[in-house]
Chains A and B, each alone.
Chain A
Amino acid sequence: MEEFIGEVWHKYISAKVATGYPEAALELTHLQSQLSTYFHGLGGAPGKVVEAAEARALNNHRPLLQRIAGSHRRASLCWQDQRSLRLPPVIDYLPEKSLNEALYFWLAALAAKLPKMSHWFLDNQLATLTILKTHPGLKTGYEKLAKAVVEQRPLIEHLPLKLQAREQAMQQAILKPGSVDSLPMAAGDPLFVPLWLYPAPLFDVANNQAQDDEEQASSAKKETNEPPETLDTPRKEAQRFDDEKQTDGLLVFKLDALFSWAEQVDMDRSQQEDLDQDLQGAADDLDVITLSKKRKAGSAKVKFDMDLPAPFTDDLYLGPGIKLPEWNYKKRAMLKDFCFLQPMVSDEATPKKLDNNLKKEANALKRQFNLLRPISALQRRQPFGDEIDLDAWLDIKTQPNATLDGENLYLAKKQNERDMSTLVLADLSMSTDSGVTTQQRVVDVIRDSLVLFSEALSACDDPFALYGFSSIKNKQIRYQLLKNFSETYSDETRGRIMAIEPGFYTRMGAAIRQSVSVLKLQKSQQKLLLIISDGKPNDIDHYEGRYGIEDTRQAILEAKRQGIQPFCITIDSQANDYLPYLFGDQGFALVRKIQQLPKLLPKLYLNLTQSI
């Protein structure tokens, strides 16, 4: 009964204080791509994406009823940081849908002009003024919006006396931006302005600084000071993790088994390997480095290696594995049988139909590629043929001494002009696990690309195979078969593509060598090795930096020597540093916006096939 009454009361009071117009609500998801284009067009930084903002707490004046209902404490503000522009997930603030839509676009425009904010009240007005000056078309729109927004604000005389002056100034600033240069002081935050940008939320970092330093000093006294190691990495986003209350180790036994403190052994497993050399690599691989507040605990080293999956959950191994050489640039020699490559196939992947999201794109590509089916092209100057080659005839006629003996005077229909096999080698290393957007990882984009590519190529009957690879040192290079040349593209293949998961590292050289030996067996005249990658070759042993690049380069040179055309598609923005060295100036493409990869891949294929 209590609960029932509570619920009724909650409903009643919530409805009583609800503001906004749910019937005019507009969701960000419907406008996201338009807003993103608009934002970038108006000068927003190219890499910034548009995302939904979380609700943030506001400390502003609320009328009695709202306070009773406990509502309106939080609002979805619009703000931006280096990474993205955050817009409210839903806007229902204004009574008309068109107004709410205009509000979204207004916020995107304002954000494009206001990448950095130093003073909330002044900068918003100033940016508004600049926009209206450079974009006179927005003027009437803004006036309408401003009027509607002010109408939604409480009447000034309904507010407590001490807040009135400030609210007056706020409304003035909204209606006539640039006309108020200072905001009268009053308690709390000013009422939420949906038309304006807010600064990025501050994370309290400075806290406990003193305590931290103190602790550091005391621990430094006890231990011999090690020379500071400088890690030359780009700045990482840092998080302070308070592990003060936690124990130093993991307690993985039942607590009731803990009889006395004497049983807890302070163990320090000796290091078998020096991990210091990999600190840099490890730091590179991490997105967020969590800093421990406790100096001493933080300095303890934990040794771990990414375990291989247990045999019964792992994919099916195909054959005993293949030994492959690797190039050591320091010794300038090929290390024979240095790498062990294990071809495998996912035997548990279930056949899948084409995903609905991709259907439209796939159909468009299929239509396009259908036209590329080997159509009968006319070949000139043939000894036999359906029609007379007038050019050839003319040539003979213009040479008075020519005879008709053995001349090729016919046009013949040629069956297959494009004779090319393609092997797509996709990088499935752990780095592809990183997010493109909150819902999408790099590997998801690679997967979609592979599916669309397969749809397209199966429509034009060009033979192709798909493989993925990852590695854990030289002992296991996992070479995942997704589709080989002989099988037809079917639901099973699609299922295998859909089942790909990222893991481990990128030992590219060995994977390329194996792909070359697969591709070599193809009888077609041209052979294309298409590599999809998201970064440099690397592995946890010495296979990184120059070593990895030199080995990959060797593998590519070998491929070229064997008549295979390698081509790399990468999403690594730093690719220009090393890919020209690996693939040559014309041998790679950098896709800046990874979401476009699925659409671009078939297009690139067309370009490649036409130019070779």
Chain B
Amino acid sequence: MSQTNNRQAIHYQAQDRECEIFNAAANNKLPVLLKGPTGCGKTRFVEYMAQQLKRPLFTVACHDDLSATDLVGRHLIGANGTHWQDGPLTRAVREGGICYLDEVVEARKDTTVVIHPLTDHRRLLPIDRTGELVEAHPDFMLVVSYNPGYQNLIKGLKPSTRQRFIALEFDYPQAKLEASIICQETGLDTQRAEQLVLLGEEIRRLKDHDLEEGASTRLLIYAAKLMQSSLSTVEACMAALAQPLSDDRDTIKAIERLVNAHF
């Protein structure tokens, strides 16, 4: 769990009307579901919106051992006996703020029990350990994200859960936008950024055939950052774009060829 405070301004370039939709959802106290491939800017978007809305953000990266207790809270032993410690979800519900459950399908099934009453008109969080029923703060908002990819082929969200959210689909940004994002994030020159984006598109074409997932915007930014340091362009691309995506020698070699074709 991490709580982000609004210290420095976060950059986010809208791809479409997602900011407006998110704002409308926030104003109407509706929960939001973000779907899209890895590293296309879902988390960044939530951080940005939290800052825009001036609400604290509670981010929880879900994993397969994450249970409802981790979200709601637990009893801890202190010097003066035991005391109750709120989990990130409970804090957001009490204090008002955005609770962001990243990769929600990874979490255990029992988490849906706490999500359901929070995502309809009741906006309640029952804490069975303490017997408390917390009514959500007007500023509370639940945002979940998931990645409809191969590994979630079976896992997918249950329709009964999906139906409770406003959903926004994310994808890798358009070439021009992506290049400008890279420039802004790393200060790379436009020409090389554009070349990098072209390379990224080519690698993305290999998805589902040779790669499980294409090169994310995040990886492109990493590559650009490496380029800005002392590494050579090709080295940077290999380290950031080829090796992380595949273990297959032939695929890596082919990607190396693609890199060489650009730089």
Q: Judging by beta carbons under 8 Å apart, are A138 and B261 in contact?
A: yes
B205 and A43 form a contact (CB under 8 A): yes
Residue interface bits B61-95, CB-to-A below 8 A is 1, else 0: 00010000000001101000110100000000000
Query: Which of chain B's residues have a CB closer than 8 A to the CB of A593?
Result: 208-209
Q: In the bound complex, do residue A40 and residue B209 qualify as a contact, i.e. CB atoms below 8 Å apart?
A: yes
Task: Tell me the complex Cα distance, A236–B202, Å.
Answer: 32
A249: which B residues are within 8 A, CB to CB? Answer: none
Contacts of A43 in B (CB 8 A): 202, 205
Q: Are A41 and B262 in contact (CB under 8 A)?
A: no
Which B residues are in CB contact (< 8 Å) with A334? Answer: none
A37 to B259, CA, bound (A): 13
**B205 to A38, Cβ gap below 8 A?**
no
Q: Is A563 at the interface (CB under 8 A from chain B)?
A: no
Contact count band on A = 20 to 34
Query: Are B210 and A42 in touch, CB under 8 angstroms?
Result: no
Task: Across the interface, name the chain A residue whose C-beta is closest to B69.
Answer: A391
From B20-28, B35-43, B148-156, B222-230, the one touching the partner chain is B148-156
* Structural contact, B209 and A46, CB atoms closer than 8 A: yes
Min CB distance, A461 to chain B, in Å?
22
Measured between beta carbons, the chain A residues less than 8 angstroms from B154 are 586, 604, 607-608, 611
Stretch at the interface among B8-16, B47-55, B137-145, B250-258: B250-258
Is A317 part of the contact surface with B, judged by Cβ < 8 Å?
Answer: no
Interface window among A74-82, A165-173, A258-266, A393-401: A393-401
Across the interface, name the chain B residue whose C-beta is closest to A588: B153
Whether B205 and A607, one on each chain, are in contact in the complex, defined by CB atoms closer than 8 angstroms, is no
Q: Which residues of B contact A607 (CB under 8 A)?
A: 151, 153-155
Q: A136-B262, A137-B262, A592-B209 are in contact. Are A38 and B153 (CB under 8 A)?
A: no
A525 at the interface (CB under 8 A from B): no
Q: Are B153 and A40 interface neighbours, CB within 8 A? A: no
Residues of the A chain whose Cβ atoms lie less than 8 Å from the Cβ of B257: 34, 38, 105
Residue of B nearest to A612 (CB): B154
B209 touches A135 (CB 8 A): no
Which single residue of chain A is at the shortest CB-CB distance from B233? A137
Confirm or deny: B206 has a beta carbon within 8 angstroms of a beta carbon on chain A.
yes
Residue of B nearest to A394 (CB): B75
Q: Are B202 and A137 in contact (CB under 8 A)?
A: no
Q: Are the CB atoms of A137 and B260 closer together than 8 Å?
A: yes
Residues in A whose Cβ lies below 8 Å from that of B74: 391
Residue of A nearest to B64 (CB): A610
Report if A589 contacts B (CB, 8 A). Answer: yes
Q: How far is the CB of B154 from chain A (nearest CB, A)?
A: 4
- What 6 A-B pairs come out closest when comparing CB atoms? A37-B254, A135-B261, A41-B202, A33-B250, A611-B154, A34-B254
A-B contacts besides A33-B251, A37-B209, 14 pairs, CB < 8 Å: A37-B250, A38-B254, A41-B202, A41-B258, A43-B202, A105-B257, A397-B77, A398-B82, A586-B153, A586-B154, A586-B156, A589-B153, A592-B208, A607-B151
25 A-B pairs (CB sep. < 8 Å): A33-B250, A33-B251, A34-B253, A36-B254, A37-B251, A37-B254, A38-B258, A40-B206, A40-B210, A41-B206, A41-B255, A41-B258, A134-B198, A135-B262, A136-B263, A137-B261, A141-B260, A395-B75, A397-B82, A398-B75, A585-B156, A589-B153, A607-B153, A607-B155, A610-B64
